[in-house]
Amino acid sequence: MDKTNNPLLESWIPVDKESDFPIQNIPFGIFRRKGEPPSAATRIGDTVIDLKGLSTFQFLDGLDIDSDVFSQPFLNDFISLGKPVWRKVRERLSFIFESSNALLRDNESIKEHVLIPLQSVEMLMPVKVGDYTDFYSSMDHATNVGKMFRDPANALLPNWKHLPVGYHGRSSSIVVSGTSVHRPNGQFQEGKAVVPVYGPTKELDFELEVAFITGPATRLGYPVTTEEAEDHIFGLVLFNDLSARDIQRWEYVPLGPFLGKNFGSVISPWIITLDALEPFRVSGPEQEPAVLRYLRFSGDHHFDIRLEAALKPPGSPESVITRTNYRYLYWNIVQQLAHQTVNGCNINPGDLYASGTISGPDKGSFGSMLEINWNGTDPVRMSDGLERRFIEDNDTIIFRGFAEKKGLRIGFGEAITRILPAKTIG
């Protein structure tokens, strides 16, 4: 066991027992204090730790890192340095904030500069996303969609169990938790009408996903193998891939999602490293038929991460409407990255790869409203009696995720967005 994962570690920074961010987590993000430029941070409990400040006061000396990487508005430069550097920084931070280390603990003047209450900062996009791929890696989700819109007896398309299906999405509209998103306009069919209409989507949905973010770049023409993949994966975030189902249904043939998907996707602000999630590795489902050689792997590359989505209508309490688990995915992260690059596609620091909607085997674990209400035929009932078939204006969507084992909890915090009314044209 890596010493940073030791469940007995405690920090001198106060941490609630239900916190997602104990000293064993050490996530990375970008924050801003009022009137100051953005910079890199980690978090313990509800305390944001300024990495630029730690570097300025020489707490990160000896790690062979240019301190300027912590002064950038995105983490791309830092994560481009690779896994050995990420681990050195995690180990140093674990050492500094361990309960018995008085080096910073007893220095009140420096603590005032580098420790900031969470409520005093604004969390920003942690990376500049250059490229974005959305996979379709949950067999339960793909089967449900196939049953609804194709032949129930042949719900999965012939290629689905042979490769991680995916498409390239719009990276510029990926936003950080807390950002409101307007309901999109587009074309869709009403009922059985042959001619489409234009207007705001009537079937706005969430997709409960987890995404990984890549670190060191690769050269064009050089694939990444499943054995090498985790050396290029910095960490994971929660991901809400908002979807306009009616727009998507009309447009997706023959080239796939377009306006129904590219109007906004929301990520959680803290990147949780694979090292922090190490204790929660689990085996994935048996893959049958056997995959091709480049998709074969050894070891466990699934993670036991509990996920939930809640909906809060205006003036109403929040209602959790689904609970699922990241371990339900059929295709894992090393297979996804190996498939992305097998044709020679290069990757860059900050690229984002979403899992696709994560659904489990029953209605209580479905990862989208489309599935939970079975295409609008079985409305979702809120805790106060309200019903929802799809998301309405001014509803707030909240994603949460955490892993827990033997008293150790590592979480992601939240990914939150409020849906605003559509912008009208003319």
Distance between CA 247 and CA 243 in Å, rounded? 9
Distance between CA 338 and CA 345 in Å, rounded? 10
With a CB cutoff of 8 Å and minimum separation 6, the contacts of 102 are none
- Options 113, 141, 168, 302, the catalytic residue: 141
Element (H, E) at 334: helix 333-341
Residue 17 zone, left/alpha/beta (φ > 0; ψ -120 to 50; rest): alpha
Distance between CA 52 and CA 37 in Å, rounded? 11
Name the residue with tokens 């991901």. Answer: 239
- Whether 141 is a known active-site residue: answer yes
- Distance in angstroms between the alpha carbons of the first and the last residue of the chain: 61
Q: Which of 243, 244, 185 is nearest to 424 (CA)?
A: 185
The DSSP string of 366-397 is: -SBHHHHTTTTTSPEEPTTS-EESS--TT-EE
Distance between CA 50 and CA 200 in Å, rounded? 42
With a CB cutoff of 8 Å and minimum separation 6, the contacts of 319 are 310, 311, 312, 382, 383, 384
Give buried/exposed letters for 277-308 (b at 16+ CB in 10 A, else e): bebbeeebeebeeebeeebebeeebbbbbbbb
Q: What residues are annotated to the active site?
A: 141
